Amino acid sequence: MDEYQKRLADPCWQRHQELISVFLLDSHNTSYFWKREDNTYYWQHSRKHLDDDLFVDADGVQLDLFGKPDLTKQFIMDAILGV
C-alpha cells in the first residue's frame, strides 16, 4: 500500500511516522522529509500548482553513525527543486 492509498484509508496515517524536516519554499510550496515505520525515507511535496501532494521515495539517503539522515545542501536542493 503506497502513501496515496494510506491517506485514503486513514487521513491521520502519518501519525506513526517521524517527521525529520520541513522546507518552506514560500507560503504555498512546502516539502517534508519523513521516515516510515520500516526505516525508509520519502519526500512529501506540497505545491500550489498540484492538485494533490507528491510523494517520492528518498533514494540515496546517507545515514550518519547514529542512523540519522545526513541531509546535505545538494541532496535537499536536488529533491525540492526537482519537482
What's the rounded Cα separation, in Å, for the pair 61 and 68? 10
24-60: per-residue pLDDT in tens? Answer: 988 889 999 999 888 889 999 998 888 888 999 988 8
Cβ-proximal residues to 76 (8 Å cutoff; 6+ apart), any chain: 23
Domain ranges of the chain: 22-81
Interval 66-74 mean pLDDT: 87
pTM for the whole structure:
0.80
pLDDT at 20: 93
pLDDT for 4 beyond 80: no
